[in-house]
Amino acid sequence: MADRKADLKGWSDSLESQQPQDVLAAALPRYAGKIVLACSFGAEDVVLVDMIHRLDPSVPLFYLDTDFLFAETYATRDRIIERYHLKATQVIRVTSLLTPERQAAQYGDALWTKEPDRCCQLRKVEPLTRVLQGYDAWITGIRRDQAPSRAGAGLIEWDGKFGLVKVNPLARWTWTDVWTYIKVYEVPYNPLHDRNYPSIGCTHCTAPVADGDDPRAGRWKNFTKTECGLHKA
């Protein structure tokens, strides 16, 4: 594993001056048939859908349907499917093993107000662990300047938590870079972004932010929690 990690670090470092499309062009053939995009239909993820579509339109995506997504998020999913002619088998809906009703019966009502880490574990982390088992690599939209916890993200790295390679093509990009791409290529995006929601998750745990606030300030507003656990080592 140490060798593998060192190899990935060297490969990743060699791509540091390249654009996200170059990172994808290097990674997609290497993991052909065993690579998947994690897509929440946020700004970064729709950029990646567009970039991947131009390189290899057969790459699948999955989304974690927590049962608590915004109507606008589902509508964005549908617009993305239409725009890129994605087949049903390419868009993988991943859900919790517990319906919201069973979760409430087992853990109490509104678990997200009491134990958001447990709620995220049940509705995001466990489903993610399950879906990633079928792949050698996953692609994510994380960027280094999104949060201190993401500042050290490599373009390509070993994800020890889930046991596969993690490709972060946008790691070096800024929020402005992302939006320039969306505008230039007219990529469909979640309209909540136009209503002060820079970061969009579940309805229960996402609020709009004030001008000048940290872009992730609207997530888990009453908690110190800043990550759902998908990108935490």
Catalytic residues: 228
User: Nearest 5°: phi and psi at 53?
Assistant: -55, -35
- 31 or 70, CB closer to ligand SF4? 70
Map tokens 């656990």 to a residue. 229
Judged by CB under 6 A, the residue of 112, 138, 158, 189 near ligand SF4 is: 112
Spatial contact of 36 and 59, defined as CB atoms under 8 Å apart: yes
Restricted to residues 114-143, the positions that interact with ligand SF4 (CB under 6 A) are 116, 119-120, 123-124
Spatial contact of 91 and 77, defined as CB atoms under 8 Å apart: yes
- 107 or 179, CB closer to ligand SF4? 107
SS3 159: strand
Nearest to 69 by CA among 40, 110, 97: 40
Restricted to residues 1-60, the positions that interact with ligand SF4 (CB under 6 A) are none
- Alpha carbons 123 and 69: distance in angstroms, whole number: 11
- Tell me how far, at minimum, the Cβ of 223 lies from ligand SF4, in Å: 9
Give the binding-site size for ligand SF4 (rule: CB under 6 A): 13
- Tell me how far, at minimum, the Cβ of 17 lies from ligand SF4, in Å: 35
Binding positions for ligand SF4, rule: CB under 6 A: 66, 68, 112, 116, 119-120, 123-124, 201-202, 204-205, 228
